[in-house]
Amino acid sequence: MRWRFRRFPGPFGLPFLGNLPGILEHDLTAYTATCARKYGGVFKMWFGNTVWVVLAEPELIRRVAFKLLSRPYSPASAVHMLTGEQYSLDSKTLVFVKSGADWRNARRSFETSIVHPSSLLSHLPAVHRCIARFLPRLRRHAAAGEPLELSAALADLTLAAVGECAYGVDFRTMAEDGSALPAAPLGSGSGSGSGSGSGPDGENVGAALLAAVRSCFDCLDMNNATVYVPLKYIFPSLTPLWAWMAERFPDAAQRRHMAARAAVASVSRRLMAQWQASKAAATATANGNGNGNGAAANGDAAAAGAAFREVGGGIAGSSFMAAMMEGRRGGREEDRLTDDLVIAQCLTFLLAGFETTAVTITFTIFLLATHPEVEARLLAELDEHLGRPGVEGKGKGEGATGDDGAPPLPYMDAVLKESMRLLPAATALIRDPLHEDLDLGGGRVVPKGTFIFLATQAVQQDPTQWPEPERFLPERFLPVGGGKLGPTHPAAWAPFGMGPRMCVGNKFATMVSKTVLCELYRRFTFRLHPRQRLPLRTRTALTHGPRDGVWVTVAERG
């Protein structure tokens, strides 16, 4: 098989380990960028004994991303070894379903909830609710002059916001005063029923979900992977054996991950049952009062409906989970999502959406803290269009709302885009020529089934595409600077990927990131704390994030 890749240049790979030592030493993103400079836009790398064909040319990336619909593995075979029913469910979730009707159905269910403008906007109140709860934490740090590690703090905020949008319950990552709540143990959830997040059956669904989801996320970290994962990379042809062993002789990491997935499924089921019960009660109330008195019936239905929006003791009717449950009422039987799929897609929503968004906001604040002139221009734009809370001015009032959840803020848009060019949360796309060999031209044919790695970050830093690529210049994305400051090729900017499998959450993520940044910068500014290690070191795991966190001091705007 190796001979089929002889036309592809690339670094020398050690027996069994391939280029893993170099990747681990330098980090995957940095290693591929270095190789791209050395070997050009098409090369091969050995991930253990598995060959990866890497593309780092925008036109080739565009062609392949649009042509190929499948991704190489389910996460079950990438960073862990889910087995049995958990494996088959995982491989049907939107990120890893291969193609065809399953993919179209899954994609449609996400689009209904987070792409259509009206449903997108219905998530905005939850985002504002979570920001409001986060602000006291910043005020406390500002008052005490204590440093704040942003990536962890923002992870609490985005987990709360994305979690509530996905499941419609309070995720309880933050107390009312903004402080982080201690994590509940996995399997918790049968509490007294007092306090926010308690469902009708007295269970604290939010806290239980949070514990289970956090545990799932930890298990997706390579450092916490079962021993069968490295074995699979070193001896890929024996993968069925490793999967068999993982099922029958699970190690502690494997048991922990399977337990975490089972816990998510069990809490989700309870939540769905609660939702159905509340829905039935609401319908019964509306019908019961409907005879002969239309106005009263409408009022009762509205009151009952309010219970769904009341996150705390209730479940938000605008959530992704609720949308999927509503959506499967109509349509053809074979297109309807099963309970198990609703559960798996909700987890996917959260796993794909929360850390990526937290990292994007963290990196943007880091860049603004190190570029005061950009920050000053951004603050001027926010003051102009949004105003400052409690300060007289030209601003149009509270909140970042408009057609897509935000008023036109061209400089904010440019800052976010430039931040995602320089420090994106995802640095590559992956594709799989599932059914036939892929001809890249020049005699380079990629055999079907090969892992294709589209190195978007190498292109976003390529000096032939972007003049002075290492500089943070939001003007690149404004009409005034666009021509001179790049890019040469439109596909040279792809932090959300491209083609039919482009990030389905891109509008939602942009809405959340913009809303958080607007609401924070209307009130605070951030400077790096001396504890911050410079230059910034990053690491590539499930997302590309800061290796040592981002330490800032917070100041309230006068």
What is the rounded CA–CA span in Å between residue 483 and residue 505? 29
Describe the crossing of helices 252-288 and 339-369 by its angle, rounded to 10 degrees.
110
Kindly state the DSSP code that residue 93 receives in the 8-state scheme.
S
The answer to whether 107 contacts ligand HEM (rule: CB under 6 A) is: yes
Q: Residues 495, 511, 526, 551: which binds ligand HEM (CB under 6 A)?
A: 495
Is the backbone peptide bond immediately before 535 cis, with ω within 30 degrees of 0? yes
The answer to whether 505 contacts ligand HEM (rule: CB under 6 A) is: yes
What is the rounded CA–CA span in Å between residue 487 and residue 478? 12
Kindly report the length of the chain.
558
Q: Residues 82, 352, 406, 423: which binds ligand HEM (CB under 6 A)?
A: 352
Q: Residues 74, 151, 357, 457: which binds ligand HEM (CB under 6 A)?
A: 357
Inter-residue contact 185 to 211 (CB < 8 Å): yes
What is the rounded CA–CA span in Å between residue 113 and residue 106? 12
The answer to whether 426 contacts ligand HEM (rule: CB under 6 A) is: yes
CB atoms within 10 A of CB 490: 11
Identity of the residue, 228 or 496, whose beta carbon is nearer to ligand HEM in the bound complex: 496
3-state DSSP assignment of residue 502 = coil
Per-position x/- string for 149-188, each x denoting binding to ligand HEM as judged by CB under 6 A, each - no binding: -------------x--------------------------
CB atoms within 10 A of CB 219: 21
CB of 448 to ligand HEM, least distance (A): 19
The strand order across the sheet containing 42-47 reads 42-47, 50-55, 451-454, 429-431
The window from 45-53, 207-215, 370-378, 420-428 that contacts ligand HEM (CB under 6 A) reads: 420-428
503 is in an annotated binding site: yes
Closest Cα to residue 120, out of 320, 271, 305, 279? 320
- Residues numbered 75 to 94 that lie near ligand HEM (CB under 6 A) are 94
Q: Residues 23, 33, 65, 212: which binds ligand HEM (CB under 6 A)?
A: 65
Identity of the residue, 59 or 146, whose beta carbon is nearer to ligand HEM in the bound complex: 59
Q: Residues 142, 213, 400, 429: which binds ligand HEM (CB under 6 A)?
A: 429
Q: Residues 70, 215, 289, 356: which binds ligand HEM (CB under 6 A)?
A: 356
The answer to whether 360 contacts ligand HEM (rule: CB under 6 A) is: yes
Kindly state the DSSP code that residue 273 receives in the 8-state scheme.
H
Identity of the residue, 138 or 454, whose beta carbon is nearer to ligand HEM in the bound complex: 454
3-state DSSP assignment of residue 149 = strand
The answer to whether 499 contacts ligand HEM (rule: CB under 6 A) is: yes
Structure tokens at 489: 């090729």
Identity of the residue, 318 or 553, whose beta carbon is nearer to ligand HEM in the bound complex: 318
Instruction: State the sign of the Cα–Cα–Cα–Cα dihedral 107, 112, 117, 119.
Output: negative
What is the rounded CA–CA span in Å between residue 406 and residue 123? 13
The answer to whether 498 contacts ligand HEM (rule: CB under 6 A) is: yes
Inter-residue contact 502 to 117 (CB < 8 Å): no
The window from 220-228, 395-403, 424-432, 458-466 that contacts ligand HEM (CB under 6 A) reads: 424-432
What is the rounded CA–CA span in Å between residue 433 and residue 449? 6
CB of 454 to ligand HEM, least distance (A): 8
Cα Rg of the chain, angstroms? 24
CB of 313 to ligand HEM, least distance (A): 26
Per-position x/- string for 7-46, each x denoting binding to ligand HEM as judged by CB under 6 A, each - no binding: ----------------------------------------
Residues at the binding site for heme are 503
Binding site for ligand HEM (CB under 6 A): 65, 94-95, 107, 110, 114, 162, 348-349, 352-353, 356-357, 360, 424-426, 429, 495-499, 501-505, 508-509
